[in-house]
């Protein structure tokens, strides 16, 4: 009788040919060997499908699923449905992981009876790691504290890929298909399905910044999908976890301000600037009273939120003057 794997690692694959071998090799090289790799080929038009098949023939721990292009959320949903492990992890097809990541995360879950284990992720730009871990420590958190840390964003953020989840966390949860920022829209719900989380200060996941990534290129309208996610988050969290309202609204505010700066600095067309900022203005107005009375946010952020709420054209005007002075 063949024993099922302990960990299922889901890799959504879409036109990842130049990077896919490095990704899969890093998973196969894990010191924790009782795992399966589920490669979900999401309608690739390059050689990704043949690379996936190459690895299926090479190692019996590799499963390949081919589907028409539906997007990364659909690929992840397909992978979760096929997963046989007690734990689930995610690796993007153009990133890679360090050899001991899953051994560490699995050990943390088992030794502390946690549903989620988290490590740091590092960013690689031009083949150089640009950030490193701090002094190593481990922190165990109950349900509420783990959610609070998620929204504070100091130990960890919404990325799925530096985390290992018990499969039970996915009960009644699906990734939102056709939407960018699917991590943002899903990770908090996985935490609400957990009882305990453990964080360890070590770098396990390497996020490779690509020049053609939608998240690293000129501002795209698809990035506004984040605000659909944020409205779901704020409405759900303030209703179910009112004790975390300040942290949730502060995280939402920081996201608004970040995107405001991206729009003003990356979008040249004035009409597009106004269109994008008006999309941010709508949810800001929905939560404006709660944001302004927050005990966490400082006056600088409250000033910027007031500007978005009342007349973001003033921000555009002052930003235009700033640009002109910089060019003078």
Task: Give residue 50's pLDDT.
Answer: 98
Quick one: fold of 7-208?
Spore Coat Polysaccharide Biosynthesis Protein SpsA; Chain A (3.90.550)
Query: How much is the average pLDDT of 16-30?
Result: 97
Query: How much is the average pLDDT of 309-323?
Result: 71
* Domain ranges (residues) in the chain: 7-208, 221-327
Query: How much is the average pLDDT of 86-91?
Result: 98
* Phi/psi of residue 158, nearest 5 degrees: -85, -10
In order of 230, 246, 314, the CA distances from 286 in angstroms are: 12, 15, 20
Within 13 Å and on the Cβ side, how many CA atoms surround 319?
Answer: 19
In order of 42, 146, 213, the CA distances from 83 in angstroms are: 17, 25, 28
Question: What are the tens digits of pLDDT across the range 53-85?
Answer: 999 999 999 999 999 999 999 999 999 999 999
Question: What are the tens digits of pLDDT across the range 245-273?
Answer: 999 999 999 999 999 889 988 888 888 98
Distance CA 29, CA 26 (A): 5
């Amino acid at each position: 009788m063949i024993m099922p794997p302990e960990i299922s690692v889901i890799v959504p694959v879409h036109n990842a040919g130049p990077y896919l071998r490095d990704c899969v090799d890093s998973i196969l090289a894990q010191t924790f060997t009782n795992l399966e790799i589920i490669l979900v080929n999401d309608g690739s038009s390059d050689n990704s499908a043949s690379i996936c098949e190459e690895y299926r023939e090479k190692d019996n721990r590799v499963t390949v699923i081919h589907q028409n292009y539906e997007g990364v959320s659909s690929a992840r949903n397909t992978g979760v449905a096929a997963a046989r492990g007690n734990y689930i992890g995610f690796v993007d097809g153009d990133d890679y992981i360090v050899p001991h990541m899953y051994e560490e995360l699995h050990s943390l879950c088992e030794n502390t009876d946690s549903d989620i284990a988290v490590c740091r992720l590092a960013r690689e730009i031009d083949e150089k790691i640009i950030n490193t871990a701090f002094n190593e420590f481990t922190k165990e958190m109950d349900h509420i504290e783990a959610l609070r840390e998620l929204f504070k964003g100091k130990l960890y953020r919404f990325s799925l890929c530096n985390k290992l989840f018990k499969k039970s966390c996915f009960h009644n949860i699906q990734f939102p298909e056709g939407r960018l920022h699917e991590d943002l829209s899903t990770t908090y719900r996985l935490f609400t399905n957990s009882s305990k989380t453990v964080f360890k200060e070590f770098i396990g996941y390497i996020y490779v910044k690509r020049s053609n990534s939608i998240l690293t290129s000129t501002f795209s309208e698809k990035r506004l999908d984040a605000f659909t996610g944020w409205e779901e988050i704020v409405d759900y969290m303030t209703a179910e976890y009112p004790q975390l309202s300040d942290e949730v609204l502060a995280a939402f505010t920081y996201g608004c301000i970040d995107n405001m700066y991206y729009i003003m600095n990356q979008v040249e067309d004035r009409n597009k600037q106004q269109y994008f900022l008006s999309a941010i203005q709508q949810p800001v107005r929905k939560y404006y009273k709660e944001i302004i009375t927050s005990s966490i946010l400082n006056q600088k952020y409250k000033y910027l939120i007031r500007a978005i709420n009342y007349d973001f054209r003033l921000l555009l005007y002052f930003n235009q003057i700033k640009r002109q002075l910089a060019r003078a």
